[in-house]
Amino acid sequence: MEDRNNVTEFILLGLSTDKKVRILCFVFFLFCYLAIWLGNLIIVVSISCSQLITQPMYFFLNCLALSDLFYTSTVTPKLMTDLLLEKKVISYENCMTQLFTTHFFGGIEVFILTGMAYDRYVAICKPLHYAIIMNRQRRHSILIASGTGGLLHSLGLFLLAIVLPFCGPNEIDHYFCDVYPLLKLACTDTHKIGLFVIANSGLMGLVIFVVLMASYILILYNVRTYSAESRHKALSTCSSHITVVILFFIPVIFVYIRPATTLPEDKVFTLFYTIIVPMLNPLIYTLRSMEMKNSIRRVWCNKRFWEERLMI
């Protein structure tokens, strides 16, 4: 305990030491963060204020949009603030909090994507039983399981991090508090802890990714006998999900599947799944969904709709 208390704060080295590069990054990430909020809020409002919320696919999309907002907000505001500062400091307590919340909402996102894949599998492979299987109780059970899974995932990493002794140095070669950079600073042998992190994050991500891709391959195999119109609709929906799954999981697997080491490329890959993917999700899911486009028009371009809402 004494050793760990020698470090009361950490210094984040961030993305760059060049001031001009940091300013350009600030402008870029400010745009990204505003786009994330705008795009995901449009999805949340458009689904919540329409009949789409009763459909399992859009129920999960609504949850994914909310988790994107929370997930990116654990990292992006601090990142943008630090880009304007010469010395980027985070207290020990805030560092541990950021580690927990980032992995909590990231874990929830992983399990929601899994729930969405299951929904698509049932809808396409078992259409006659879809309404019975994906009832309201089942949807809420999947959502609760996603929250529980995210909590267990983040709690495991958090409990490991808070017992690590930190006696100096205190410079984290990253733009936020993540588990591998913290392991490098610990004043103890972290080999066994590193193996747990691989199992908890890297291996879990790899297994879920393989299962998701296998489910989509099975879906694509089943739709070959459908009519051209039904096949096109199924392929359009699945292509959106597959795109998001690949964009999210490949960087996660790259960062966490190897032993407890950090590479310069880690920052770029981490930016991808903490900021870029949450920004692209609204575009990916709305551009290929006519129902989503129609809902957005009805909700956002309907003067009467907003007048009724304001009167309430």
Q: Encode the chain (312 residues) as per-residue pLDDT tens digits.
A: 444 457 788 999 888 888 899 999 999 999 999 999 999 999 999 999 888 899 999 999 999 999 999 999 999 999 999 999 888 899 999 999 999 999 999 999 999 999 999 998 898 888 889 999 999 999 999 999 999 999 999 999 999 999 888 887 888 989 999 998 898 888 888 888 888 888 888 889 999 999 999 988 888 888 777 777 777 777 777 888 888 899 999 999 998 988 767 777 888 899 999 999 999 988 888 877 788 888 888 877 765 655 555 555
In the numeric block, the tokens 């391959």 are attached to 217
Phi, psi of 172 (to 5 degrees): -95, 120
CB atoms within 10 A of CB 300: 13
* pLDDT value at residue 3: 46
The answer to whether 135 and 229 have CB atoms below 8 angstroms apart is no
136-162 helix and 56-73 helix, angle to the nearest 10 degrees: 20
DSSP letters, 76-101, are HHHHHHHHT-SS-EEEHHHHHHHHHH
* Strands lying side by side in the sheet with 9-12: 89-91, 9-12, 171-172
User: Could you give the count of Cα atoms lying within 13 Å of 44 in the half-sphere of its Cβ?
Assistant: 14
Helices (H), the chain: 19-48, 56-73, 76-83, 92-125, 130-133, 136-162, 179-185, 191-197, 204-222, 228-256, 265-271, 277-287, 290-300, 303-311
Radius of gyration for the alpha carbons in the chain, expressed in angstroms and rounded:
21
CA 177, 179, 184: angle at the middle one, nearest 5?
95
Q: Which CATH superfamily is domain 9-311 in?
A: Rhodopsin 7-helix transmembrane proteins (1.20.1070.10)
* pLDDT value at residue 29: 95
Task: Report the candidate in 103, 208, 114 with the shortest Cα–Cα distance to residue 150.
Answer: 103
Question: Is the previous residue joined to 259 through a cis bond, with omega within 30 degrees of 0?
Answer: no
For residue 232, give the amino acid letter. H
pTM (two decimals): 0.89
Report domain extents, the chain: 9-311
